[in-house]
Chain A
Amino acid sequence: MPYISNTDRDRQEMFATIGISKFEELIRAIPEKFRLKSELKLDPAMSELEITHKIKSQTCQNLCAQSANSFLGAGVYDHFIPAAVDSIVSRPEFFTAYTPYQAEVSQGTLQFIYEYQTMICELTGMEIANASMYDAASAIAEAILMAVRKNKLLKAILPATLHPEYVEVIRSYTEGVGIELLTAPAQDGVMDKAALKAMMDESIGSVVLQSPNYFGNIEDAEEISEIVHSQAKCLLIACVDPISLAILQTPADYKADIVVGEGQALGNSMYMGGPLFGFFATKLDMARLMPGRIVGGTLDKEGKRAYALTLQAREQHIRREKATSNICSNQSLCTLAATVYMSLMGREGLKEVSTQSAQKAHYLADELCKIDGIKAAYPSASFFKEFVISTPISADMIIEKMLPRGIYAGVKVGENQLMIAVTEKKRKAEIDEFVHAMKEVCHV
């Protein structure tokens, strides 16, 4: 059997030490009638060679973003990943290690998480970050729950410009503890500030802002922050694209109280949307209200620098039902990829990724809008690397017609509305090919 070391002879030797003659004596606590009488109905076991063939045939039935010309985004982005990232992430020292509870033999994991937390704080301008959550969606949900711990106010406002799948996840996470979710409407692809202002009163505990928002548009975060903070207790939760933060204002600049976001774009492959990881950062005075693992610097008994999990009294393994969250893991290996990625990119590299993404996205938007019948869906809004166009034929039809050309045209966000994402990976020739194909597809 693969991966099982002991042979029947070994088993016999062990039975002698245990003092039994056959395996069944060890499971006598399991009532006889509960024991399976026949084998599980599974495919016959495959060798490594056979499973390799099977997986190859499955991958052949997929058409991935590498073999297609893809303009899909909506929360998962195809940014360039330097080879050195996987070279580190694929080291068993990191990927077969457990959670760093035994600090003395986990300093490698603990230190990279400490560095990761530092980088997240650098990007966002915040003071403390945790070791990560499952994805941006659960990170927003946890932020809303944290706001309730802070101000005991059970109403939260979500913008209509928030990723619809995030809204679903947030609802799952918050309905049980009695949080009421309100929706702030959108106007021209961004939050309607007047409407938000009208919704604000002293019962609102938190307001979520996504910028760039689901549609790719940059929200007027400073003004929204002022509206939110007109209520003294209300917290502003900002959900941001980490790549954008190399060139766009930090959430700290507009006085966000909790900052979260989807971290996948930082050095992690898309893998059909999982794993993802949510980063989570806030101000020091709310450290004890945070969910999730946090690594802190400390000393060992000889006074040498060392790292350990800290503030564990917040967590489920200590506090049980009184914990700040039920989360027991983090997306550790994804944050390692992000940490190595950010180290390789450095301050100038990340700016370049961010700048080129924005430049190419705007070039594509301009070119598409030259096509008869296509126009920007939100002409008054500024965007970063993703935008929505209004199309002369249905978005579904465009997506279907572009498919045989090997182009993933974008994500449908309305009957005649297509959302298109561009990263620095796209070459001008690929963008031009897309424009050319769109001309044909929209005018037959």
Chain B
Amino acid sequence: MSETVMSKTAFVRTVPIEPLPPPASMVGVIGWMRANLFSGPLNIALTAFGILLAWWVLPPMIEFLITDAVWSGKDREACIVKEGQPSVGACWAFVRDRFAYTIYGSFPVEGRWRANLFFLLGAVAVWWVLAPKAPHKSWGMLYAFVIVPIVSFFLLRGADWLAWAGLPYVETARWGGLLVTLVVAAVGIVVSLPLGIVLALGRRSQMPLVKFFSVLFIEFVRGVPLITVLFMANTMLPLFLPESWSPDKLLRALVGIAMFASAYMAEVVRSGLQALPKGQYEGAMAMGLNYGQMMRLVILPQALKIAIPNIVNTYIGLLKDTSLLLIVGIFDFLKAIETARIDPIWAAPTTSATGYAYAAIVYFFMCYGMARYARNMERRLAVADKR
């Protein structure tokens, strides 16, 4: 049958014709630009505005940070306008000269390996706890939250009876720079998570008084600026304690930061707890678990997993907030730069801007790294929830 039809028709192609390529204006770079940059009058105006803005900001920035920058030199002479150097950009020579100072402050030079070892221990802890593929996570938690803090304490502070091991006592007033920033951030991180969990559980407790004290603490601390908490820790803590205790200045600041971070962490953990369906609690209770077992084995692992992105975001805030320590006279990273930039040896027009650019780069890489991690985790969790 079909053959007779075929024979009557003059000619039928057996193979379909290849489709014509789409017009050049719809694909490739031009197509992309038409769709995304020039799709209408408003869009064209926005594109022009965006390009103008970028043109206005980017070239001067590149000029300042790279092409006009001074990369080497011994003192301010290198970074001032002079013969053969009509315009001066960033004075990176200053940062190179003061680099060690911004990292260690006035920590004894022969003891800097201790700070370096502390950075290494911390880096391992971060990898072990955060990397999704790292083995033996529970050992990692033990390492990061118990072993590293204890080892670091003796490593950095040292003691007279440890002098034989190359760990003589270094008073905290001599700690400085990025070392102090990271120590404070690390203490905040290590203390705020367990304390925050306790406070969050307290806030959701059935016991009215426990709930009352938790809410009181959380709302009080969250309601005031960090700077007043630091002032309180700095000026009132010595008053409230017996005179013989006289806490160290850095310790006072640590107490303030830890209190502040814990209150914020409590709210993050609470949001994780609230996200769990009631069935999880009821299921755990039906299995005959008591409160501690229920929390440890069923509720907290799930609630903390949900809360990971927000926990990391709180840590980012904490790291940024450590810069406030300079106001109460602690020698943190920003304070080291503040001190270095007004040093007359490097007094040049662009020294301040360079110092701040350097600080911004360091803070940005630490915070952005954490933010990227939080976003990745969020995506992984979203995938896990999709069934």
Q: Do A and B bind each other?
A: no
Q: Give the interface of A toward B (CB within 8 A).
A: none
